Homo-oligomer: A and B are copies of this chain.
Amino acid sequence: MDFAPSERTRELTERLKRFMREEVFPAEAVYASLLTGGADHTQWRQPVVMEQLKARARDAGLWNLFLPDLEGGAGLSNADYAPLAEIMGHSFIAPEVFNCNAPDTGNMEVLHRYGSPEQREHWLEPLLRGEIRSGFAMTEPDVASSDATNMQATATIDGDDIVLNGRKWWTTGLGHPHCRFVIFMGLSDANAEPHRRHSMVICPLDTPGVHVERMLPVFHDYDEPSGHGELRFDQVRVPASNVILGTGRGFEIAQGRLGPGRVHHCMRALGAAERALSLLCRRAQARVAFGQPLIKLGGNADIIANLRMAIEQARLLTLKAAWTLDTQGSKAALSLISQIKVVVPAVAQQAADAAIQIHGGAGLTDDFPLAQLYAYARVLRLADGPDEVHRAVVAKLEAKAQLATENHA
């Protein structure tokens, strides 16, 4: 057993932290000042400072660290990358700076692993260079998408084409000015067995019949210039060669995609939780009421201790999930991945809420990043499967494992 990060991770950690300190945090305010806000995403612009930061990160070799392959990526395992993802999670603008932002990382992994040479050349390469962005269109407004087999949008082979129809939403990144395509998941064979019914299809956003209906606010925030969008596909026709891996193989791809993606999400969320705790601690020591710094009052010290313990545990669990994914594969990591998807967002939400409380009214405004951290954590309790579904997975696997074990007595 060894809790120390690898030499490679240690070295990258140092460089990444320095870059965050010297480049990213100082740029947050400028970036924010360049956003115009609002529901109309057609007015959204990429702040210039982001492209400058991206160029510097790339020059610094802090680029595509998420990709476990040396070709195009940094060759890091999930366990090696995880601590780096956490560091990026301290700032909302950081993941894009390092080309490590969702959902593009997931899409890049999909194309890297399962894409045809043409798909990789046409879509993966520019993503890896950070020139374009992409979305993932799976969740649907009209059904409980927590049960993925509920998906009703269709992807129907018609000669050399595949025709897409239906409505999707919560396509993250859809509003970004650089977003060029989405990976669409749809029903292609209603008669196959449940996990062989759906296909993943690359769909460029400029294909006729693709309608961006609106951007979705989260607690009134549109997360400009990335956003979460709602899409309507109306007889959208793309070449059948846009199908990834083959029709009916959507869930197979999803399984491979979701494990690492959830680890990344969770590590970034832990970074967010740490930032909230850090702000909380500073405020609790700086602000005075009734003649004492807040940290000396009531249960405030306990709140700090409880968060430290919760975050530390959640991090260890996430690292173990990453390590299990690396060493034993996704099936062995199934329960752990579901566990972190329940545990981590809850911890991050709790940290943000506690930090808001200690900041008083200021915590609810944009004077601090806490409301945004809160919203991020809150979304994550629903995205990539709600808590409820993951708890059910954990319980089911646990019950099964217990029955397989000999009894004590």
On A, residues with C-beta under 8 Å from B are 1-6, 9, 21, 25-26, 28-29, 37-38, 79-80, 90-91, 139, 141, 143-147, 150, 169-170, 216-221, 228, 275, 277-279, 281-282, 284-285, 287-290, 294-295, 297-302, 304-306, 308-309, 312-314, 316-317, 319-320, 323-324, 327, 335-336, 339, 342-343, 356-357, 360-366, 371, 374-375, 378-379, 381-383, 386-388, 391-392, 394-396, 398-399, 402-403, 405-409
Q: Is the CB of B382 within 8 A of A217?
A: no
| Interface pair A319/B399, CB less than 8 Å apart | no
Quote the shortest CB–CB distance from A377 to chain B (angstroms). 12
> What are 6 of the A-B contact pairs (CB < 8 Å)?
A1-B80, A216-B361, A279-B408, A282-B402, A298-B388, A312-B336
Instruction: List, in ascending order, chain B residues with CB within 8 A of A150's CB.
Output: 288-289
Copies in the complex: 4
CB neighbours of A26 from chain B (8 A): 409
Contact indicator B391/A360 (Cβ below 8 Å):
no
Q: Which residues of B contact A409 (CB under 8 A)?
A: 25-26, 28-29
Q: Which residues of B contact A364 (CB under 8 A)?
A: 216-219, 375, 378-379, 382
A313 touches B317 (CB 8 A): yes
- A353: min CB distance to chain B, Å: 8
Given A1-B6, A313-B317, A365-B218, CB of A305 within 8 Å of CB of B391:
yes
Given contacts A2-B2, A314-B313, contact A282 B407 (CB under 8 A): yes
Q: Contact between A375 and B219 (Cβ–Cβ < 8 Å)?
A: yes
| Cβ contact of A342, chosen from B305, B343, B361, cutoff 8 A | B305
Across-interface contacts of A342 in B (CB, < 8 A): 305, 309
Alpha-carbon distance between A79 and B326 when the two chains are bound, in angstroms = 22
Cα distance, A287 to B363, chains bound together (Å): 35
**Bound complex: CA of A403 vs CA of B374, how far in Å?**
23
- Rounded to whole Å, the gap between the CB of A227 and the closest CB of chain B is 12
Q: Please measure, in the bound complex, the distance between the C-alpha atom of A44 and the C-alpha atom of B306, giving whole angstroms.
A: 42
Given A308-B398, A360-B386, A408-B25, check contact A219 B220 (CB 8 Å): yes
* CB atoms of B219 and A371 under 8 A apart: yes
Which residue of the partner chain B has the closest CB to A301?
B395
Contact at B305–A146, with CB atoms within 8 Å?
Answer: no
Q: Which residue of B lies closest to A228 (CB)?
A: B361
Q: Could you tell me the distance between the alpha carbons of A312 and B316 in the complex, rounded to whole angstroms?
A: 9
Of B221, B379, B391, which contacts A298 at CB under 8 A?
Answer: B391
Given contacts A364-B379, A366-B217, contact A79 B1 (CB under 8 A): yes
- A188 and B169 alpha carbons, distance in the complex (Å): 57
CB distance B139 to A361 under 8 Å? Answer: yes
**A304–B406 alpha-carbon span in the complex (Å):** 18
* Complex Cα gap A298–B144 (Å): 15
Chain B residue at minimal CB-CB distance from A144: B289
Complex CA distance for A357 and B153, rounded to whole angstroms: 23
Q: Report whether A408 and B275 are in contact in the complex, using a CB–CB cutoff of 8 Å.
A: yes
Q: Are A305 and B1 in contact (CB under 8 A)?
A: no
Partner of A306, one of B143, B357, B391: B391
Interface centre among A147, A295, A302, A320 (most CB of B within 10 A): A302
Give the CA-CA distance A289 to B146 in the complex, in Å.
Answer: 7
Task: Select from chain B the residue with minimum beta-carbon distance to A322.
Answer: B1
The reply to whether A396 and B301 contact each other, CB–CB distance below 8 Å, is yes
- Give which listed residue, B388, B394, B406, contacts A309 with CB less than 8 A: B394
Chain B nearest CB, measured from A199 CB (Å): 22
A194 to chain B, nearest CB (A): 11
Q: B312 near A339 (CB under 8 angstroms)?
A: yes
Pick from B6, B144, B316: contact of A294, CB under 8 Å: B144
Report the bound CA distance from A388 to B295 in whole Å.
12
